[in-house]
Chain A
Amino acid sequence: MTRRSAPFLALLAAFALVAAACGGEEEEGPGAEGICATVDTEAGDLLARICEQGVLRVSTDPAYPPQSFLNEETGEYEGFDIDVATEIANRLGVRVEWEAPAWDTIVAGNWAGRWDVSVGSMTITPERAQVLYFTTPYYYTPAAIAVHRDNTTIAGPADLTGKRIGVCGACTYDFYLQGTLEIAQDPTGTPVLIESEIADPDIRTYDTDTTAITDLALGDGTRLDAVISALPTLQEAIDTGQPIKIVGEPLYYEPLSIAVDRASQLDATSLVEVLDDLVEQMHEDGTLTAYSMEWYGVDLTTLE
């Protein structure tokens, strides 16, 4: 190499080398039992790939107790969503691998094949449905208002006019406050606009609910006047000693589903069908109810 070509050729080579050294791992999974035993692994779609490799890659946000959090002693994730995802994998006959990307990466679709499904208490909205497939809801959470324990002025949405309200960004609570939230109670139903009962809110977004709760806990009106989040999350915060309380009735109920990327390179329709069936099974045989009782203390898996 002459002095001329050396610098930039080597630059390109270095980049190519590093990029080439990367890439996903291919591993042979254990022998398929469960549903995978009946799946044609030659079919060439996402379900086939999952069964063939014996791995279901699931995305989760591990900063979200009790849905998902890290047990530092075992180095494992735990929580309601974790249990649901693990059970699904078991019934498929494969093992689980976890990814923990940022939430807005998950809801945006275009996962580039990094993970197969999202079991992350995701609400079905029309915008998300454009980039993601949704299964039958596996449970429903009420969206609730929390204020600081010392607050005496706020008893419901009417009292929140013009107040600073903390929500997690790109979550349904965010859309609700903006007045753009549309929910269908199941993937096939018509989305209904949920009218916001809160006039003129001062919306403060966070990358995750727990941070918003922490800010609320600083003091009544110190940073926030209220937080809107999932009722179980707020309850968990209260149970661990955060100085907040829940006020008013639930603003709305969100159906929460498992999501799959529409932009997946491998066709995902068969996977979504299988997941749908599994979720229904787990509703019928009481698995979901059992998990709900374990993690939330109430049965959130039905709307009754």
Chain B
Amino acid sequence: MRTEEAGAGRTARPPTGRRSGGLRERLELGTARIPFRVKLGLVWIGIFVVLGILFALARFDTPWLRQHYWFIFRGLPWTVAISVMAIALASILALLGALGRISKNSIAVGLTGFYTSFFRGTPLIVQMFLIYLALPQVGIALGGPWARTLTLDPLRAGVIALGLNYGAYMTEIFRAGIQSVGHGQSEAAESLGMTYRQKMRRIVLPQAVRVIIPPTGNEFIAMMKDSALVSFLGTVVAQMEIFRRAQLLGRRDFRPLEALLAAAVMYWVLTTVFQYFQGRLERRLSRGYVREVAGKPEVPPH
């Protein structure tokens, strides 16, 4: 057993720890020079290689996929359309909800409290079916034009349900964003003589938007995936989004793995692309808030 010679001017041998030190140590030292990014890329490639082998072993029907993936892909505009419409509705509801939560008016606080509690406390799929199935019964009971108005087709029912559901969650985001604007801003605006609406529109909301956008972007990404639930209401052919198409083809041809995997990949690509653009938007929004050092804005790493 070697001992370290103190004061002898020789570098002590680093402790090897337990017995396994040998191979792992050598591996770490040997690869230390390779940049992290390269190693990361190799890990990803490795994952895909393993997956590829697994699928080959599962007798993945690639010809079927090649034949039908384009049909599934054509659902993408509808996935995006549903998500965009729903997030727009959700944002409006979230803004109203947030203003209601911080209001001094008891009706506003009560209504928005009920709204957020109910739509965060019940499953989205239940909400979708409620709006699709239960609302028409209410409409028929009310009689007159209500029967037709409240009998929504699957797409509208789905979008409204998504909007209501996400609006409830985003109420918190909007509220936090509004309250993140310093109290002094509000006071300065009021001291100038601004009304509540002027203050919100000109001073508070424009600043709140910067705080609200990143988490809203995340909600949108989640929304794009939840848009798949709309298919359970039974959308018509012309409006079928990615999942519905995958579901129908997969069931028809008994190829659920291939169909659903194709759908999964499409969602994955969609969300990744969106995250890229959201990052760019975030950087652009922080102009004016982040001190520019030598022309380059400093952005905290995500």
Contacts and interface: CB of A to CB of B under 8 A. Distances in A.
**A–B interface present (Cβ within 8 A):** yes
A63 B248 contact: yes
Given A72-B68, A265-B147, A11 B251 contact: no
Contact of B147 (A11, A18, A112): A112
Contacts of A113: 136, 147-148, 151
B254 A240 contact: yes
Given A14-B96, A19-B149, A210-B254, A112 B139 contact: yes
A8 B112 contact: yes
A77 interface: yes
A114 B100 CA distance: 36
B181 interface: no
A11 B96 contact: yes
Contact of A11 (B93, B105, B140): B93
B249 A99 contact: no
Contact of A75 (B133, B151, B238, B253): B238
Interface string A234-273: 0001001110000000000000000000000100000000
B237 A7 contact: no
A54 interface: no
A7 B147 contact: no
A100 B153 CA distance: 11
Given A11-B111, A242-B254, A105 B151 contact: no
A70 B133 contact: no
A189 interface: no
Interface stretch (B210-218, B228-236, B278-286): B228-236
B197 interface: yes
Contact of A22 (B140, B149, B245, B248): B149
Interface string A95-107: 0001111100100
B190 to A, nearest CB: 12
Contacts of B99: 6-7
A214 to B, nearest CB: 6
A10 B93 CA distance: 9
B66 interface: no
Interface residues on B, range: 35 or more
A150 to B, nearest CB: 16
Contacts of B247: 63
A20 B108 contact: no
Contacts of A100: 234-237
Given A4-B103, A70-B249, A24 B151 contact: yes
Nearest to A19: B149
Contacts of A208: 251
B152 interface: yes
Contacts of A23: 148-149, 151
Contacts of A20: 149
Interface in B198-242: 232-238
A232 interface: no
Contact of B256 (A11, A102, A214, A237): A214
B252 interface: yes
A3 to B, nearest CB: 4
Contacts of B103: 3-4, 7
A86 interface: no
Interface string B138-158: 011000000111111110100
A11 B107 CA distance: 12
Contacts of A105: 133, 234
A72 B249 CA distance: 8
Nearest to A75: B237
A22 B99 CA distance: 27
B160 interface: yes
A186 B118 CA distance: 46
B89 interface: yes
B248 A70 contact: yes
B252 A14 contact: no
Contacts of B136: 110, 112-114
B239 to A, nearest CB: 11
B245 to A, nearest CB: 8
B232 A102 contact: yes
Given A7-B96, A14-B96, A70-B237, A112 B108 contact: no
A242 B197 CA distance: 65
Nearest to A11: B96
B248 A217 contact: no
A99 B254 contact: no
Interface in B165-208: 196-197
A100 B235 CA distance: 6
Nearest to A4: B105
Interface string A77-113: 1000000000000000000001111100100001011
Nearest to A111: B136
12 contacts: A7-B96, A7-B100, A7-B112, A8-B96, A69-B248, A70-B237, A72-B68, A98-B236, A98-B237, A214-B254, A237-B254, A241-B254
Given A112-B137, A211-B251, 14 more contacts: A7-B96, A11-B112, A14-B96, A18-B89, A23-B151, A63-B251, A69-B248, A70-B237, A100-B236, A101-B234, A102-B232, A105-B133, A112-B136, A113-B147
